[in-house]
Chains A and B, each alone.
Chain A
């Protein structure tokens, strides 16, 4: 009997020893970076991916004709230079001796193939619409490619930030290209364990010089707290944006962690159903805008990592217009506007409400809390608010089908004012586009269409300045805030630069001290 106890004891002692002896093995290594994502990228084929995390990794594996720098200017990537000889023609001269990860040189044929496959209806690319003005793509020679458009289209160049795929491999792999992506970027795809991790290794032949770290690992950790604990233990080196605001202060106290914040290109807004009998009255929308205490939400719920917004475009955007109607917190003004609109308060400061609205949101904790503050703000001016939270799929379906009164959502990655076309043009009501609020204004329709055809920045700026003024006056959206970017990393991680669009371009320059 004693012998049996002895065996158990030996087993337990060995396990304990193994446990203790492995201490420290989980810390990331010096020549690799471990970053954590809150959700798994869904697709690593640039022609098919739509989510932000896929985009970040794609940006490391692939190069494009043009790319954004850290000030969101379009700069050369694969193209040596580009010309615009007339409003419907663009010619790109491609850099020579750029090699794909399979060793083959990138040529104009690959560029042509990439965009033609997106335009091919049977490829079912979600980006096809962005290129519908492209009439023909001609590979003039090995290093020159010409795009012919059916009409002038200002946002064309922005769409040239699409990753270029190798024709032969992409054709052969078809939809499996997403799990075996091959590009010309600074990092080579190594492996993808679904819902657990994606690993990339350094591309020794990268045309701008090889990256400093030999390996990048992206772990998918969906629980907010656990992700941060991973950063505290050193198992994770880097997290960008996937940090709940209420946990930032605890992180900033940790002397092993550096936190960077910078202006972003995401926009949070409160959306209205403009076909609703109450909400179609502009005075009601203005009253709601005056009733919301944005600054208090930003300070208390968002830990200060947001800027109050006056319109869709962030201040850093070249088309941003400062001189628009702004709605500072002013409950008295809100009450007066509601009285004017014929929604008198039945009992002054009493419990009775002028009317009730339903606010829909996702079951995300932060969104729910924001809903509660809105509820309190609106109550002060006599509007009752019912908060309904839904799982994302259900919520999104309701928004698309117009089954809502009030909701709040964000637009992410706003770089071109052309976003106004897709959210406010009356042709863009679902299912055609993103005019979720069913907004209709003939002047806006005319301006946003013109903004696509006019090519000079100066003329476009004038057009969008008008659009911003009308939108601020008419309030199809109530602007809430522009979320800032936050990156938290271990102290020894150096060389990272925060991009407004959250891009990981600077990963090739990151090193550890």
Chain B
């Protein structure tokens, strides 16, 4: 196990290198000049030149790339072109907000989807099953930019229960987390249902029932535990996707997370900041996948990593 983890961690380096290179060239390929955005049109051409020099943007692309790689390798992601703040601290400052939102969304979606999936599977083709799967279909299809405002109209405007936007208290977290969690709950409940249905047809379930175990024990201990393996994979993948995909939800609810930071950075052509955001997101994605793989071994003792 330890060897496997070390192997996977070593593999991180080529991934980071690949992402860094791609991001660097992609962001530099987009037309637009950070100096123009920063100084505006009224600035003197000489001031623009001075700033370009001060930011190191006057050098060739190859030279900038090599400097960027060297600095990244030593853990220095550079400074934001706009605020002159170190990129790493800007990203780390925003990371907790995104993590808070994503983890809450994840918990909400698990709390909704796993029970829904189990009930649907056990009561296959019943009204409950159909209703649950229909809602899941809606959940997958409704885009966040629509669901968000709908929830606000219901919970904030009509009922006056929850705040509209911002990040001040736990109440501010609820609507964005619900918005973000709904889509995922839909995917997970369908996944749980399918997986449970497959498991419930297995012979060991019949054997468990023959032993005289209670229905609950059969479903949870023998059924769910086995059905969870593919669900955990999806949870891992979805968690990674949520981390990077919370951009729209963050924008709607003015949640000061990493997604908004990145969009802002792209709009102002803040090259180091865009690179930093994407690198950190990519790194999180890879690490979460690794965690998911490790988690398998605990859920399913048959899985061993060499």
Q: Which residues of A contact B (CB under 8 A)?
A: 1, 19-20, 22-26, 40, 42, 50, 121-122, 124-130, 132, 175, 178-179, 193-197, 219-223, 225-226, 229-230, 232-233, 235-236, 391-394, 396-398, 400, 422, 430-434
Contact = CB atoms under 8 A, between A and B. Distances in A.
B45 interface: yes
With most chain A CB atoms within 10 A of its CB, the pick from B36, B83, B254, B267 is B254
A400 B160 CA distance: 48
Interface string B169-198: 001001000000000000000000000000
A124 B51 contact: yes
Contacts, number: 143
B256 interface: yes
A223 B252 CA distance: 6
Contact of B162 (A19, A50, A125, A391): A19
Given A223-B254, A393-B266, A432-B45, 12 more contacts: A1-B216, A25-B171, A50-B39, A125-B47, A126-B40, A126-B47, A129-B47, A175-B84, A219-B254, A220-B254, A222-B251, A434-B42
Interface of B: 30-33, 36-48, 50-51, 54, 82-84, 90, 93-94, 148-149, 152-153, 156-157, 160-167, 171, 174, 216, 251-254, 256, 260-261, 264, 266-269
A40 B51 contact: no
Contact of B164 (A121, A122, A230): A230
Contact of A219 (B47, B93, B166, B264): B166
Contacts of A175: 84
B254 A232 contact: no
A220 B256 CA distance: 10
Contacts of A433: 41-42
Given A126-B38, A194-B93, A229-B152, A391 B164 contact: no
Contact of A235 (B37, B39, B48, B164): B164
Contacts of B94: 194
Contacts of A219: 165-166, 254
B32 A394 contact: yes
Given A124-B54, A432-B45, A393 B260 contact: no
Most buried by A among B48, B90, B156, B269: B156
18 contacts: A19-B161, A121-B46, A121-B50, A122-B50, A194-B256, A194-B261, A195-B260, A196-B167, A219-B165, A219-B166, A226-B164, A229-B152, A229-B164, A393-B31, A393-B32, A393-B266, A397-B32, A400-B41
Q: Nearest 3 A-B pairs (CB), nearest first?
A: A393-B32, A26-B163, A196-B256
Contact of B254 (A178, A226, A394): A226
Nearest to B255: A196
A327 to B, nearest CB: 27
A26 B171 contact: yes
A422 B251 CA distance: 36
Contacts of A121: 46-47, 50
A126 B43 contact: yes
Contacts of A396: 32, 36-37
A124 B254 CA distance: 31
Contacts of B157: 229, 232-233
A42 B32 contact: no
A125 B157 CA distance: 44
Contact of B163 (A223, A235, A431, A434): A235
A398 B32 CA distance: 8
